[in-house]
Structure 1
Amino acid sequence: MINTIIFDFGDIFINLDKDAPIIEFKKLGLHEWHDDLNDLNLKFEKGQVSELQFINGFQKHVPTASIEEIRNAWNSVLLDFPLYRLEFLQLLSRKYRLFLLSNTDAIHIDKFQHKAGMTFYREFYQCFEKVYFSFELGMRKPDSEIYKYLIQKHELIPKRTLFIDDKKENTDAALALGLQVWNLQVGTEDVVHLLDKKII
């Protein structure tokens, strides 16, 4: 019997447009997504580089772009967070231990909180026993250490813990550690269909 649920954030609660940053950066003059930018993103998600270092990394490729233009292009991935998903989460929080585990960075979280507003994001965060962002933890999915950290810190029983993520490599890593998983298919499934899945 499941008693704990760990949720991803992007495309589980907040909708994403993963092509938007590529389009927006192209407008700024970045016509090729260089390997160093992928590496920079991974480091930023682990909190290993500062926001300024991250932006400077992009300015090497788009020197005419301002800090604000780079920040806006980076944040273009973030879309809406439907209220019905928050209401669903609030209902779940009465019955289950809930955690949020997201690969994300300081720029995206600042933008989400500013866009959603204090009342909304506080109500969202209050649904969880603990909210974990990769840039604060210094770890990211699908590395096994991040799952082990949650399991040990909160004394979770893997077989009674459900992990929900839209990326298969992330759910595969959790499954290998004995967690129950749902690899949510974006576009055809919604987190509010959880009860229909008969897994909790």
Structure 2
Amino acid sequence: MIEAIIFDFGDVFINLNKQAIDSEFRKLGLTAWHDDLDVLNKKYEIGKIDEYEFMLGFQKYLPNAELTEIRAAWNSILGDFPLKRLEFLQMIASKYRLFLLSNTDHTHIEKFEHNEGQTFARDFYSCFEKVYFSYEIGIRKPDENVFKYLINNHNLNPKKTLFVDDKKENTDVAEKLGFQVWNIQPELEDVTQLFDKILI
């Protein structure tokens, strides 16, 4: 019997446009994603650096690009947030303890709230008992400590908790810790199909 559900954000609720971000950065002159950009991104996702430091780190590889252009390219990954997903969340919010756990950064969350509007964002956040963004808590998936953090903070029983995420490395760690998991395939499945896909 499932009592709690932990949801990822990107490609679960908000669609991500990975082709757009690749295209936009190519226009600015970035031919390949470097390992040190990956390190930079992860630092930003756990709040070790601020937005200005993050954008400056990118600018090393894009000396002809303005910081505003880099920010716009970075935000181009954010797609639409179908209303049916919010309505689905609102429908189940009274039946389960819901949590949001996302590897994300301040720039993307600010842009999401701007794009969708404060009312939509507030309605979305209010469905959850608690919202956890990696840049605020200083830890990111698939580190198993992020799951232990939620277990301890909210007295969760992993066996009675479902974790929904589009990245297999994240669901694998959660499963190892005893959670029930749904490794959602965004191109084939929708979070609104939860009750069709998982027996809860």
- TM > 0.5 fold call: yes
Question: Which structure 2 residues correspond to residues 58-73 of structure 1 after superposition, within 5 A?
Answer: 58-73=58-73
The amino acid of 1:24's aligned partner reads E
1:64 deviates by: 1.3
User: 1:23 and 1:72 mapped to 2: Cα distance?
Assistant: 12
Question: Which structure 2 residues correspond to residues 66-85 of structure 1 after superposition, within 5 A?
Answer: 66-85=66-85
Q: After superposition, what is the alpha-carbon deviation per residue over 1:27-78, rounded to whole angstroms, capped at 9, x for unaligned?
A: 0111121111011001110111110000000111111111110000000100
Let me know the Cα RMSD of the aligned residues: 0.7
Q: Report the 3-state secondary structure (helix = DSSP H, G, I; strand = E; otherwise coil) of the residue aligned with 2:99.
A: strand
Q: After superposition, what is the alpha-carbon deviation per residue over 1:106-144, rounded to whole angstroms, capped at 9, x for unaligned?
A: 000000000000110000000000000000010000000
- Give the corresponding residue for 1:14: 14
- Give the corresponding residue for 1:32: 32
Residue ranges of structure 1 left out of the alignment (5+ in a row):
none
Q: Does 1:196 align with 2:174?
A: no
1:80 deviates by: 0.2
1:96 deviates by: 0.3
TM-score, scaled to structure 1: 0.98
TM-score, scaled to structure 2: 0.98
1:174 deviates by: 0.3
Q: Does 1:160 align with 2:160?
A: yes
The percent identity for this pair of structures is 63
Q: Does 1:111 align with 2:127?
A: no
The amino acid of 2:139's aligned partner reads M
1:19 deviates by: 2.4
The amino acid of 2:17's aligned partner reads D
Q: Which runs of 4+ in 1 moved over 6 A?
A: none
Contact 2:182 2:198 in 1 (8 A): no
User: 1:44 and 1:199 mapped to 2: Cα distance?
Assistant: 37
Q: Does 1:86 align with 2:86?
A: yes
Deviates more, 1:132-141 or 1:18-27: 18-27
- Give the corresponding residue for 1:183: 183
1:199 deviates by: 2.2
Residue ranges of structure 2 left out of the alignment (5+ in a row):
none
Question: Which structure 2 residues correspond to residues 46-57 of structure 1 after superposition, within 5 A?
Answer: 46-57=46-57
- Give the corresponding residue for 1:150: 150
